[in-house]
Amino acid sequence: MSGVLARTVETITGALRAVFAAERIADADGFLQRRDPRVALCALAALALGVVLTRTLGVALCFAALTAALARLSAVPLRRLFARSAVVPLVSALVVLPQAVLLPGDALLRVAGLAVTDAGVAYVLLFTVRVGVGVALLSLLVLTTPFSAVVAALRDLRVPVALVWVVAVTYRYLFLFFDELQRLVLARNSRTTGETGLRGGWRDARRIAGTFFLRTLDRGERVGRGMRARGGARPPSPYGRSRRLDAGDCALLALAGVAVVASGVMRWSP
């Protein structure tokens, strides 16, 4: 297999592997997995809001601890969570690193004639932790809540039906198309020898992308028939799956609510 198209297969395989790995954890038995998806979605969103609100490193670290605790309760290995959510904060830290010298404040030490200030270091730390916790909370949601549950939650939360269905159908066909694209590339490679240059690579990618879109459009037409055949002229109206909230759900919601309010109060109180 040669060149850039081969990388496509790796990209897809990598993406699929990540999704599959997440699904394995989502199948496990744990605190978040047992929550009503609406509760999981709202509570984690509230926690993320709490982190975003804070301006104090201590509070941000509390949120980090809370996230780690939720992960432990939900059978999510902390190393996995960390590995998943380390890259973005580290890159972000690099981006804001110059602020360590740019922000005015008391000099902590001097590097190459530049003063590293306490305010600067505090900012870089706070920023990195905040981003890290934000990413970790999203990863936690991804790892513990299967997407079909997220879709059900969106439905129950009264997001417009049309929108929820577009999302659900996208998800359904995404994997079919990943497979199809991957096999298109594999099938092409299974009958290809030798290296292709830049121009050849573009020609191939153009051809594959173009054909792929045409097929997608035709597929859309056929799926439309399938839907019509079974739905008639009604908007899709599946059975609801929501259940009554239990004690754990209420506890999680209460915890998230308190955390947001506390974080807000600390931010805006003088």
Partner 1 sequence: MEPVIDARGLTHAYPDGTTALRDVDVTIRRGERVAVVGANGSGKSTLQLALGGLVAPSAGEVTYFGETTDAEAVRERLGVLLQDPDDYLFNTTVREDIEYGPAQLGLPRERAERRVAALADELGLTDLLERPPFRLSGGEKQRAAVASVLAFDPDVLLLDEPFGAVDAHYRARIRDLVTAHDGTVVLFTPSLDAVPEIAERVVVVDRDGTLAADAPARDVLTDRDLLSDVGLRPPTTVRLFAGLVDDDAIPLTVAAARDLLDDARSALDPQRRR
Partner 2 sequence: MHIPDGFLDPRVAGLFWLGSGVAIGLAVRRARGELGDERTPLLGVVAAGIFAAQMLNWPIPGGTSAHFVGGAFAGILLGPSLGVLAMTAVVTIQAFVFGDGGIVALGANLFAMAVVDVLVGYALFRACRGVHETGAAAIAGWGAITVSALVVGLGVGFSSAFAYAVGTTVPIMVVGHALLGLVEGAITAAVYGYVADARPDLVLGRSADEAAAPEVGA
Query: Which 146-185 positions form the footprint of partner 2 (CB under 8 A)?
Result: 147, 150, 160-163, 165-174, 176-178, 180-181
Alpha-carbon distance 265 to 257, whole Å?
Answer: 12
State the binding partner of 262 from partner 2, partner 1, none, CB within 5 to 8 A by kind.
Answer: none
Tell which residue, 151, 161, 163, has the closest CA to residue 242.
151
Residue 141 sits in the site that holds partner 2 (CB under 8 A): yes
Residue 111: CB minimum distance to partner 2, A: 18
259 touches 53 (CB < 8 A): no
**CB-count burial class (<10 Å; 0-12, 13-18, 19+) for 130:** buried
Binding residues for partner 1, rule: CB under 8 A, are: 1, 16-17, 20-21, 23-24, 27, 147-148, 151, 168-169, 171-173, 175-176, 179-180, 183-184, 186-194, 207-208, 210-212, 214-215, 218-219, 222-223, 225-234, 236-239
Alpha-carbon distance 47 to 129, whole Å?
Answer: 14
* Nearer to partner 2 (CB atom), residue 234 or residue 244: 234
Q: How many residues of this chain bind partner 2 (CB under 8 A)?
A: 92
Site track 78-97 with partner 2 (rule: CB under 8 A), x = hit: ------xx--xx--x---x-
Residue 227 sits in the site that holds partner 2 (CB under 8 A): yes
**CB-count burial class (<10 Å; 0-12, 13-18, 19+) for 129:** buried
Residue 142: CB minimum distance to partner 2, A: 4
State the binding partner of 209 from partner 2, partner 1, none, CB within 5 to 8 A by kind.
Answer: partner 2
Number of Cβ atoms within 10 Å of the Cβ of 25: 22
Tell which residue, 90, 123, 91, has the closest CA to residue 104.
123
Residue 249: CB minimum distance to partner 2, A: 18
Footprint on residues 205-224 left by partner 2 (CB under 8 A): 205-214, 216-221, 223-224
The interaxial angle of helices 3-27 and 198-231, nearest 10 deg, is 40
